[in-house]
Amino acid sequence: MFTIVSKRYLSPAITEMKVLAPRVAASAQPGQFVIVRTDEAGERIPLTICDYDREAGTVTIVTQSVGISSTKINDMNEGDAFADFAGPLGRPSDLLDIPVEELRKMNILFVAGGVGTAPVYPQAKWLKEQGVTADVIIGARTRDLFTYVDEMQQVANVHLATDDGSAGYHGMVTGLIKELIENQGKHYDRCVIIGPMIMMKFASLATKEYQIPTVVSLNALMVDGTGMCGACRVTVDGQTRFTCVDGPEFDAHKVDFDEAMRRQNMYRNNVKTNPETHKCHCNG
């Protein structure tokens, strides 16, 4: 049983859960994801691994309530168990392939937005363990929506940006990227962007301008998550790739974001996934 050993709210719609899954915890690497299913009737939902504790055998996931399944996840409590918690899936972050001596010479920038902040954490933490302190831009609409800032500050140099100017830089993450490079003399050799698809699209355009090699972590729709269904296909450099087995990280400057966004909304108006039309049978 994949029992939830702890749960806390990062914001009213976002929870962080530590889930007992010793096999997954033993093999997890930064950049990978899990597929979870709440119960027999549940969907298989991919969630990025946000942290793992090999000794305790737990894996941390962060979920934002947006549709039926994510709401079902967030309604679960400490002591409840997921029907399924399978992984780790996908390829680990490319950063793991770079020799440590080289990593230490590099300036690495992360750009995180919304619920994408938590998945940046294991990568920044892993870098810190290798002796590399990365810069992390965290963007939000307003200061109350920030998550994982304290955790991130333990492992990286954090730069905040809010659309309304309530904290940190006043503006979008794209503006802050420009600010750091043009006005604060920063130079980056590599960038990792994780967040809502639209943010990843524009942040990628910004790093392209400065010719910073950039990867994005895509959160495509999936069913099995193991390469079987192809629901998660994405066009990268003109080629069709499967996010689940070829990704989830891809060269940001080669991803067809417009197609990816369109495909992500495939079931938006479906009776089952639309919260307004969904008839819940959770209680029989």
Candidates 53-61, 124-132, 206-214, 258-266: pick the segment binding other proteins (CB under 8 A). Answer: 258-266
Does position 213 interact with other proteins (CB under 8 A)? The reply is no
Among 10, 15, 20, 43, binds other proteins (CB under 8 A): 43
For position 212 contacting other proteins by CB under 8 A, the verdict is no
254 binds other proteins (CB under 8 A): no
Selected from 5, 7, 107, 267, the binder of other proteins by CB under 8 A is 267
Which long-range CB contacts under 8 A does 132-135 form with residues at least 24 apart?
Answer: 132/103, 132/104, 132/106, 132/108, 133/157, 134/108, 134/109, 134/110, 135/107, 135/108, 135/109, 135/110, 135/159, 135/180, 135/186, 135/188
**Exactly one of 18, 72, 159, 201 binds other proteins (CB under 8 A); which one?**
72
Q: Residue 237, CB half-sphere, CA atoms under 13 Å: how many?
A: 5
Q: Within 81-110, which residues bind other proteins (CB under 8 A)?
A: 83-89
Mapping DSSP to helix (H, G, I), strand (E, B) and coil, where does residue 175 land? helix
Judged by CB under 8 A, the residue of 5, 11, 13, 42 near other proteins is: 42
Interface with other proteins includes 230 (CB under 8 A)? yes
Decide: residue 158, CB within 10 A, 0-12 exposed, 13-18 middle, 19+ buried: buried
Comparing CB distances to other proteins, the nearer of 73 and 155 is 73
Of the candidate residues 8, 104, 170, 262, the single one contacting other proteins (CB under 8 A): 262
**Close Cβ partners of 270 (under 8 Å, ≥ 6 residues apart):** none
* 277 lies in the binding site for other proteins (CB under 8 A): no
- SS3 readout for 199-258: HHHHHHHHHHHCCCCEEEECCCCCCCCCCCCCCCEEEECCEEEEHHHHCCEEEHHHECHH
Of the candidates 68, 47, 50, 67, the one whose C-alpha atom is nearest the C-alpha of residue 59 is 50
Is 281 an interacting residue with respect to other proteins (CB under 8 A)?
Answer: yes
Q: Does 142 contact other proteins by CB under 8 A? A: no
Q: Which is nearer to other proteins, 39 or 209 (CB)?
A: 39
In angstroms, give the least distance from the CB of 14 to other proteins: 20
Coil, strand or helix at 79: coil
The residues binding other proteins (CB under 8 A) are 23-24, 26-27, 37, 41-44, 68-69, 72, 83-89, 223-224, 226-231, 233-235, 240, 245, 259, 262-263, 265-267, 270-273, 279, 281
